[in-house]
């Protein structure tokens, strides 16, 4: 039986596990991943990949970046656990552990004062954005979408500022969203910070491209209004928001089932 590399620390062991998990999630064989790495100019043989996944070979910084590029993820996705499926603590070194959310915040340099929810959506899905904005605001959550931009303001600058300062970016996934250049730009800005900031919400049945499908999302398709509201309120709590019981007035029409 092969032994693991001596003194491989908790982060090194996690990279081995996450590499296997992410590769399989993308339905890539080790051979296919090797080919992607070769095209990036950082070849790693199949035998070496197998040793990495078994914890028998270290990953240096050049390997890490190449693997992240080949898997189409942030390097943080290899270094840190999946926030939505992991326990409350992550071991960073043998003497230092941290809450998973705190670890993601530290790794992505999200400011401690990041607050509020940014709604990223395609304009054809404005009815969904309006309903979610109303629902969250009635629960006491600060929300921004582009309808809040004042006349005469530099809309691009305002959007970028609010996108970067939000604690949570809700991306309303639909066929309209994935075909929108600007919506995709907002997605990439949020995704660069990892799951600490990005909350994908599927609002339509459609053939989702791999770039979007690789993320765990909240599925509102065919849900009744009450369940959709509960799903969203529970989800934004993961990002440090504290929704209260929503007040019922001036209710916009629920766009779903």
In tens digits, the chain (257 residues) has pLDDT values of 455 556 789 999 999 999 999 999 888 999 999 999 999 999 999 999 999 999 999 999 999 999 999 998 888 889 988 765 556 788 998 899 988 767 776 776 555 445 688 899 999 999 999 999 999 888 888 887 777 666 676 767 767 777 777 888 899 999 999 999 888 878 877 776 655 678 899 999 999 888 788 788 999 999 999 999 999 988 888 777 777 655 554 566 778 76
Cβ contacts of 7 within 8 Å, gap of 6 or more: none
Domain enclosing residue 14, as ranges:
10-79
The domain that holds 153 is classified in CATH as 3.40.50.10140
Longest dimension (CA), the chain: 69
Domain boundary, last residue among 79, 94, 128: 79
Q: How far apart are CA 117 and CA 114, in angstroms?
A: 10
In this structure, the answer to whether residues 122 and 226 fall within a common structural domain is: yes
Cβ contacts of 136 within 8 Å, gap of 6 or more: 117, 143, 232, 233, 236, 243
- pLDDT tens track for 185-204: 788 777 766 556 788 999 99
In this structure, the answer to whether residues 139 and 217 fall within a common structural domain is: yes
pLDDT at 185: 78
In this structure, the answer to whether residues 125 and 196 fall within a common structural domain is: yes
Domain boundary, last residue among 19, 52, 79: 79
| CB-based contact 34:49 (threshold 8 Å) | yes
Rg (the chain; Cα; Å): 20
Residue 70 CB neighbour total at 10 angstroms: 23
Q: How far apart are CA 54 and CA 44, in angstroms?
A: 15
Q: Are strands 117-120 and 143-144 parallel, antiparallel or unpaired?
A: parallel
| 16 in any annotated domain | yes
Residue 249 CB neighbour total at 10 angstroms: 7
The domain that holds 16 is classified in CATH as 1.10.260.40
- pLDDT tens track for 90-116: 899 889 998 876 777 677 655 544 568
Total domains in the chain come to: 2
| 125 in any annotated domain | yes
Instruction: List the beta bridge partners of residue 97.
Output: 91
Q: How far apart are CA 201 and CA 174, in angstroms?
A: 9
Cβ contacts of 171 within 8 Å, gap of 6 or more: 120, 121, 177, 183, 186, 187, 190, 198, 199, 200, 201
From the list 145, 87, 116, 111, the residue with the least C-alpha distance to 240 is 116
In this structure, the answer to whether residues 132 and 188 fall within a common structural domain is: yes
């Amino acid at each position: 039986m092969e032994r693991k590399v001596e003194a491989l620390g908790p982060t090194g062991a996690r990279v081995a596990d996450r590499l296997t998990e992410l590769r399989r999630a993308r339905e890539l064989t080790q051979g296919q991943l090797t080919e992607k790495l070769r095209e990036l100019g950082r070849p790693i043989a199949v035998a070496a990949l197998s040793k990495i996944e078994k914890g028998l070979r270290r990953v240096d910084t050049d390997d890490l970046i190449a693997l992240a590029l080949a898997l189409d993820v942030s390097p943080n996705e290899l270094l840190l656990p999946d926030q939505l499926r992991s326990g409350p603590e992550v071991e960073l070194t043998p003497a230092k552990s941290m809450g998973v959310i705190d670890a993601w915040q530290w790794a992505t340099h999200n400011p401690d004062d990041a607050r509020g929810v940014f709604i990223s959506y395609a304009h054809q899905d404005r009815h969904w954005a309006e309903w979610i904005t109303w629902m969250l605001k009635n629960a006491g959550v600060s929300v921004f979408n582009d309808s809040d931009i004042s006349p005469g303001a530099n809309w691009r600058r305002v959007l970028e500022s609010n996108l970067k300062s939000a604690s949570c970016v809700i991306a309303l996934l639909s066929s309209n969203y994935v075909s929108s250049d600007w919506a995709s730009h907002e997605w990439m800005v949020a995704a660069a910070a990892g799951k600490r900031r990005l909350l994908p919400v599927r609002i339509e049945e459609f053939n989702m491209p791999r770039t979007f499908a690789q993320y765990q999302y909240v599925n509102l398709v065919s849900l009744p209004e009450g369940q959709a509201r509960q799903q969203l309120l529970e989800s934004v709590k993961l990002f440090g928001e504290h929704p209260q019981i929503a007040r019922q007035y001036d209710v916009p029409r629920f766009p779903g089932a």
